Each structure stands twice: as C-alpha cells, then as structure tokens.
Amino acid sequence: MVLLGLGYYLLGSPYSTLLALVARKIADRRVLKLVRQWLEAKVMEDGREEKKLSGTPQGGVISPLLSNIYLHVLDRVWAKHGRHLGELVRYADDFVVLCKTEWKAKAAVRLVEQQLGLLGLQLHPEKTKVVDLRRGRGSFEFLGCTLRKKRSILRNPRWAFLQRWPSPKAMKRVRGRIHELTDRRRAGTKLRDIIDFEPPQSLYVDRRKAVAPQFDFKEMMRDTPQNTYQFVDIRKSLKCLADDSYIHEYKPTYGENRGDSIVAGKMWLGGLPVGFIASNNNGVIYIEAARKATEWMIRCGNQGLPVLFLQGSPGYMVGKSEEWGGIGKYGSDMVRTCSVLNVPKIQYVIGPDHGAANYGMCGRAFRPVFCFTNMRGRTTVMSGDTAGFIVESVRRKNIIDKGQQVDEADMAKFRQMMRDRYDAEGHPFLTGSLLFHDGAIAFNEVRGKLVRALELCYRVPVGHTNWGDLKV
C-alpha cells in the first residue's frame, strides 16, 4: 500500500512559523533578514503585483531548501512515531509512504494530517491518494516517473521490484523540448554558423561554367508516367538534367531492342563531369544491356569518373535463351563490377527497384555516397504482380491436388491484396524510414540535389579501382 502526498504544502505556511524553524539552524541576523525579504517579496499574478502573507515563491531557487527545513519536523515525528507504519520517502514537499497493509496506510494518513495541521499545513485533496500496488493492480507518479510493482522473471519469481518509466507529463515536456530543438525553422542553424567560419573547400576536378538545360523539370514530369511499371524514355529525362541538355551516349546502337534497356554515357551536371547508367523502357536487363553497363563502369573506374545510376529496373531477364546465352555470367559481372567500382556513386531510383537489379544498379548494399528516389520508386524483392502470380500458382496447385474447386473471385481478390501489400511496403515513405535511401525528391529539385551531391563527391580525391581478376 502507498500513501501518496504531492505538492503545495508550503503555500499555506505562515511566515512566522517558517522563520522560527529557519532560526534554529541560522544565527546570522543578516541572513534571516534576507530570507524574510525573499518571502515578503511581491509576486506577479495576472499582470498585477500582490503581496503574499504565507507560502514560499513557486519556482524560486530557495523554495526546496525552505521546504526541507519546514518538513524536517515531519521527518523527525515519523522516525519516532510512524516508522512501524511504513517507509517515508520525501523530496522537498513531495513524498510517498510505503505501507504493507491497508490499515497501516490509513493510519499513516491520519498521522500525517495531524502533524501537518500542527504546522499550519494540509494535504492537497486532489494529489493525495492511497494506491494498491499488490499484484500490479495500480501505479503512481512520483518525481516525473510512473511506478508499478512487478514480479521478477529473471531471478526468484517470488521477488518483486518497482518498475518505473517516465510519466505522461514528463514525456510531454520531453516531446515539446525535442520539437522545439528540431523545428524546421531552427534545424541546421548552428551547423551553418559553424560552417561559415570554415575555409572554403576546393574541388578535385576542373569545373566548367554551369549551363541550364534546354528542357526544365516540367518536361521531365510530362515524359514520366504515373504508373511505376509503365515504360520510360530515359533519354528525355537525361536531357532535362544535363547541362545544355547534351549527353554523350556509349554504344547507343549496341544490341538492338535488348541492349537499349540500359543507356550509358557521360554528361556535364552543374559544370561537373559525371558518368551515368540509366534504366530505359521497361528496364529489364538483357545480356547485351548487362555487358554494356559493365564495360562502361570499367571505363568510368579507369578514368576516375563518378557514376550516376538512374535505377528503374525490375530485374534481369530470365528464360531458356537468356540462360543459355549467359545471363548468369554477364549479370554477375555487372554486379561484381559495381561492387568493386571505387569512384563516387550516386543512385536515383526512378521506378521499379527489384531483385538483383537493385545490386547491379548500386543499391544501398554497395554503399553509394547518396541514394535518392522519387515517388515512382518501389524498392522490394519483387513486384506485387510477380509475388501474387507465384503464390497464387502454389495455392491453385494445392487446391487442385485436394480435388476442390478453384474460386476465381477469391484468387482475383488475393492477387489484388498482394499488389497492394508490395506497393505499400515498397513506398518511398516506408523505405525511407528503413534508411534504404536518403530521401524522396520532387521533379523540381532533382537537378539541384544531384548537382549538390556531385559537388560533395568531388570534395575528396577520387580513389583508384582495383579490378582484381575480373574478366568480361
């Protein structure tokens, strides 16, 4: 059992009694005069000054000390007459009494009320209560913590302890303080002030004068379908990013209709040179596309040229002809080349980001310096349609093997459920919360963010790539 007494005891304490108690410990009249002036000082309430005849100033630095002096009488009386009732735990004017039985708790209430009455005080009716802690029935708040009795599960189960966690009021104050410190209007202010005193950093590359593209972000929005799995002409998007809308493409006619699923080359971005490997059309990576991407990554690594990956590939092509043609070899070459490429890498997800293509196009596992996405991006193991087809095929086979009838309406509902589930789990907001990327950026800020990311990449020397025994 717990007797909980909280707050405002000294609001009604007369100054004469309090000063008499202070005088027992202090003989210096100058100090006593200073304490008296402190107590008699006027207080501001609702814009008006008032002089209090009793109580201590709330929030004053001396209030806890005066509380301890005044309630020390209660401590002495409890040690002499109330110790058999329970344990008194007091902090300033807040205290709890731990009692083993209900009748001891009620007796403790009477003793405390009697002693406080002699001091001219009374318990706060709303903040004083008796709480039953047996078997974890109740809890109470004390000094910013919520406490509850709990049995031990690590040692002897008959042992019990007081489990504590921050009280709702304390958590509200903490959240308010965090919100105040992390307000968008203030975020980064101190960091910017520190950076302003730092000497300007140089770029490890000769920078040209930046030229605005001939096509702005509105053209990119018009050329980008809303559906994640609809074809994208990536060359139009690249011309909205490159300086003066000029790009130099590597092997543009290689592997007709198959090598075209990846567009590789170089461009100037904000006056800085950068190589790019971009998913095109439906983004499915064929043998020719994988070989083109591998060769271009090797060239960029040998030249020390950063690479921008525009990822919108659902994966590598499968099937008998591709397997016999060597998609396993050339696909693994592309993944391995990306993993050992020791130049700054930036990924920008513009569509489906599934399966092994996430690795071949420099996903988070291969440590790109920056990893962005737009709202079309969907990063999952596979698409919802593929997952629904696979699981549905297994369910159909199990139903047929049992000799039962397949419910097509139920199957259609299941396929839609899988699409919705994978679409939700691959949404940029969810993947961002899992740190799969560094943020979702809108079309009107893509060029600016990529230019800034490329500038930061060039702040350090570009490393040398050791290809090992790579054979392509």
The model's pLDDT over 123-172, given as tens digits with 9 standing for 90+, comes to: 777 777 788 887 767 788 888 888 888 776 665 656 777 778 888 888 88
- For the cut 60, the answer to whether the pLDDT of residue 4 exceeds it is no
- For the cut 60, the answer to whether the pLDDT of residue 9 exceeds it is no
- Rounded CA gap, 122 and 115, in Å? 9
Give the pLDDT band (50/70/90) at residue 184. Answer: low
Among the listed residues 1, 291, 274, the one whose alpha carbon sits nearest the alpha carbon of residue 138 = 1
- Rounded CA gap, 118 and 107, in Å? 17
Token pair of 403 as six digits: 């000799």
Give the pLDDT band (50/70/90) at residue 11. Answer: very low
- For the cut 80, the answer to whether the pLDDT of residue 64 exceeds it is no
- Rounded CA gap, 72 and 283, in Å? 79
- Residue 380 vs residues 241, 347, 423: alpha-carbon distances, Å: 27, 16, 9
Min mean pLDDT across 128-137, 249-258, 308-317 is at: 128-137
- For the cut 80, the answer to whether the pLDDT of residue 58 exceeds it is no
- Residue 226 is given by DSSP the state S
Q: Please name the amino acid found at residue 449.
A: K
- Residue 210 vs residues 44, 47, 241, 447: alpha-carbon distances, Å: 62, 60, 12, 12
Among the listed residues 181, 178, 180, the one whose alpha carbon sits nearest the alpha carbon of residue 191 = 181
Better-predicted residue by pLDDT, 117 or 389: 389
**Residue 420 CB neighbours (<10 A):** 12
Q: Please give the pLDDT value at position 12.
A: 47
280-299: per-residue pLDDT in tens?
988 899 999 999 999 999 99
- Rounded to an integer, the average pLDDT of 62-67 is 74
Per the CB < 8 A criterion, the answer to whether 174 and 145 are in contact is no
Average pLDDT, rounded, for the chain: 83
- Rounded CA gap, 357 and 399, in Å? 34
Among the listed residues 324, 257, 251, the one whose alpha carbon sits nearest the alpha carbon of residue 294 = 251
12-26: per-residue pLDDT in tens?
455 677 777 777 777
- For the cut 70, the answer to whether the pLDDT of residue 416 exceeds it is yes
- Residue 34 vs residues 26, 61, 150: alpha-carbon distances, Å: 12, 14, 48
Q: What is the pTM of this model?
A: 0.61
- Rounded CA gap, 325 and 336, in Å? 19
**Residue 171 CB neighbours (<10 A):** 13
**Residue 283 CB neighbours (<10 A):** 27
Q: Please name the amino acid found at residue 353.
A: D
**At 115, which helix (H) or strand (E)?**
helix 102-118
- Rounded to an integer, the average pLDDT of 349-377 is 90
